[in-house]
Structure 1
Amino acid sequence: MIAPIFTVCAASPSVVALLGGETLRLYPFGQQDDNVIYPYAVWQNLYGTPENYLAQRPDADSFTLQVDVYADTPDQAIAVAAALRDAIEPHAYIARWGVQGRDSETKRYRYSFDVDWIVKR
């Protein structure tokens, strides 16, 4: 019932190189701790549905996730987003490139994108 984004990204040497190894800084939305180390990324389910059939139980679930990267520089945010993209694309589809900007409070840079993921049961 949850897309395997963490497992897939943790298996990528490029993602691990940018977001840390022992404690990968890729968090479900709202679960990063208060001692923030940049760069990091968060993800959340926007919505999901089971693949329903009349004659049988669903054999897959579809999810749309939002991924947000936060970094000290624009280049760092883009590098992390590219590494995440490269890790995710063999397993799911990038559905939207989203917001790119600078947070007015933290002064950190953000890069956002959405992922459509089908997970077989």
Structure 2
Amino acid sequence: MIAPIFSVCASSPVVNALLGGDRLRLYPFGLQDDDVTYPYAVWQNISGEPENYLSQRPDADAFSLQVDVYADTPDEAIAVAAALRDAIESHAHITRWGDQTRDSETKRYRYSFDVDWIVLR
């Protein structure tokens, strides 16, 4: 019921170099609720469904995820997004390059993209 985005990204040396440290700063449920250290990324399911069949239980689940990168600079946000893209693309498909914004309160930069992932059960 969960796409393996964390384990896939955690196995990337480049992602670890950018988001590593004591633990990988890639958080589920679209929330980061620890002490904020930039850059970091969050992800969340935005849709999904099992592969339903009439004659048997589903053998796979399809997920659409939204990934958001937050960073101190635009270059840092783009570098993290590219590292996540490179880690993910051999396992799933990037389906949308989304907003590139700057938060008016924190003055941090955000880069958003979506991923479609099929996970065998």
Question: Which TM-score bucket, shorter chain as reference?
Answer: over 0.9
TM-score, normalization by structure 1: 0.97
Give the aligned CA root-mean-square deviation in angstroms. 1.0
Q: Which runs of 5+ in 1 are unaligned?
A: none
Structure 2 counterpart of 1:76: 76
Paired with 2:114 and 2:31, the residues of 1 have a C-alpha distance of: 19
- CA displacement, residues 30-84 of structure 1 (integer Å, 9 cap, x when unaligned): 5423410000000000011000011111010000000000000000000000000
* Cα displacement string for residues 1-25 of structure 1 (whole angstroms, at most 9, x for unaligned residues): 0000000000000000000143100
Whole-angstrom CA distance in 2 between matches of 1:93 and 1:30: 19
What are structure 2's unaligned runs of at least 5 residues?
Answer: none
SS at the partner of 2:45? Answer: strand
In structure 2, what residue type is equivalent to 1:75? D
Identity %: 82
Structure 1 partner of 2:87: 87
CA distance in 2, matches of 1:14, 1:34: 22
Match of 2:37 in 1: 37
SS state of the match for residue 38, structure 1? coil
Q: Which runs of 4+ in 1 moved over 3 A?
A: none
TM-score after normalising by structure 2:
0.97
For 1:18, the equivalent position in structure 2 comes to 18
Equivalent position of 1:119 in the other structure: 119
AA at the equivalent of 2:116: D
